[in-house]
Amino acid sequence: MTEAALPSPLLGGVRDAVRATPAYPFTPIDAPIKLDQNESPEDFPAELKRLAAERMLAREWNRYPDLHADTLRHRIAEYEGWDPEGVVVTPGSNVIIKLLTEVGGIGQRVLLSQPNFSVYVLEGQLLGAALTQVPLRPDFGLDVPAMQRELRAGGPGVLYLPQPHAPTGFLDSAADLRAVVEAAGDEWLVVIDEAYHQYSGSDFRTLVRERPNRLSLRTFSKAWGLAGLRLGYALTSPELASNLQKVTSAFNVNALTQAALEVALEHPAYVQERARQTVQERGRVLAALQDLKVLHAHPSQANFFLLRTPDPDRAYRFLLERGLLVRRQDKQPMLQGCLRVSIGTPEQNDRLIQAVLELDRA
Ligand SMILES: *Cc1c(COP(=O)(O)O)cnc(C)c1O
């Protein structure tokens, strides 16, 4: 038990669930080659950055922004071919995960596959949801019968389905995904987290559109190269959107972020081109690491992959000594020895390949 989990006589007002939850496990470390957060290795294009700065200067900073970022929501709706009444924006999609847990998880269930993205678990624990984590198959796909059993055992609650999965990069077949989603019926909120869909070429908007309790979660933090601005959004039914909107704090997206994102949505062509380059680099990196002797690079449909090592502590330090910062994932079930590595620029990937080959021989 950590110190924070012990009852403190001075903080009697803090709920037990909050005390018992460990803080989000992230330690920022400076390294020349940052492959630890699945960011785009390239910044927002310089000419768009300039346009965004001009747009910011033209806004009145003394005024509150749009209550629900209406202009931005309409631009997103137009870009995605969605009803604007079904779009919800927040400062990062992590915030929507909190809102979904507030709307459908408090006092109810949260169902996940495991290993998973730690934020789903974190919010579920903080808000006192009954968490169920169903192990993935050995190939990292959804265990469809096991998920169906849990869903039919009864909600209500929230079901999270990342596609592709984090942190494995696995993409389920459309048939498997549908089989799980349909077992949820109307009793569950069904969340398809599509944070990395530009790298997998998958798109589950059609599946989401079929029922009002389904939602696609998307973000500007990855393929758009805008993690620093913090914006994520949900595509869902107007009914679910209006309920999410009730638990959203007023004015939650600031005027400067709104201005910059409007510019990005007016010039979206770069995103597809960047994603194409990353997918090409992912193929090159995984091909170069195909015949490792001791280590193993797992295939992936995202902008990262898992590198399995016999000694993750040593492997992590070996890479860091060569300027490469990656993320440990070896504490999660099924991921013994695994490091998660983001795909970088071609030069960064060359350095990575060289270091991993050297580590494999060492
Ligand atoms: C990176 C990521 C997100 C995006 O989070 P933001 O708060 O929008 O930056 C969402 N889901 C998963 C699984 C991710 O890996």
Ligand 1 centre to CA of 218 (Å) is 8
- The whole-number mean pLDDT for each consecutive block of 10 residues of the chain, a chain of 362 residues, reads 59 90 83 97 97 97 93 97 98 97 97 96 95 98 98 96 98 98 97 98 98 98 98 98 95 96 97 98 98 98 98 98 97 97 98 98 91
Ligand 1 centre to CA of 114 (Å) is 17
Residue whose CA is at the smallest distance from ligand 1 atom 10: 195
Residue 222 CA, closest ligand 1 atom number: 1
Task: Name the architecture of domain 3-44+270-361.
Answer: Alpha-Beta Complex (3.90)
Any ligand 1 atom below 6 A from CB of 227: yes
Probe ligand 1: pick from 196, 221, 327, 332, max atoms within 8 Å of CB? Answer: 221
Report the alpha-carbon distance of residue 351 to residue 252 in Å, rounded: 40
pLDDT of residue 23: 85
Ordered by start, the domain boundaries in the chain are 3-44+270-361, 60-266
Any ligand 1 atom below 6 A from CB of 341: no
pLDDT digits (tens, 9 = 90+) for 88-106: 999 999 999 999 999 999 9
Supply the CATH classification number for the domain 60-266: 3.40.640.10
Any ligand 1 atom below 6 A from CB of 257: no
pLDDT of residue 12: 85
pLDDT of residue 343: 98
3-44+270-361 and 60-266 share one fold: no
pLDDT of residue 24: 78
Instruction: Give Cα separations from 304 to 131, 313, 314 (angstroms).
Output: 27, 19, 20
pLDDT of residue 28: 82
User: Nearest CA to 40 among 352, 348, 351, 303?
Assistant: 303
Residue whose CA is at the smallest distance from ligand 1 atom 2: 195
Any ligand 1 atom below 6 A from CB of 97: no
pLDDT digits (tens, 9 = 90+) for 285-319: 999 999 999 999 999 999 999 999 999 999 999 99
Instruction: Give Cα separations from 81 to 49, 118, 176, 303, 320 (angstroms).
Output: 25, 30, 25, 25, 43
List, in sequence order, the alpha helices (H) in the chain.
16-20, 46-58, 70-80, 93-104, 118-126, 144-152, 174-183, 197-200, 205-209, 238-247, 255-266, 269-288, 312-321, 346-361
Ligand 1 centre to CA of 11 (Å) is 31
pLDDT of residue 5: 54
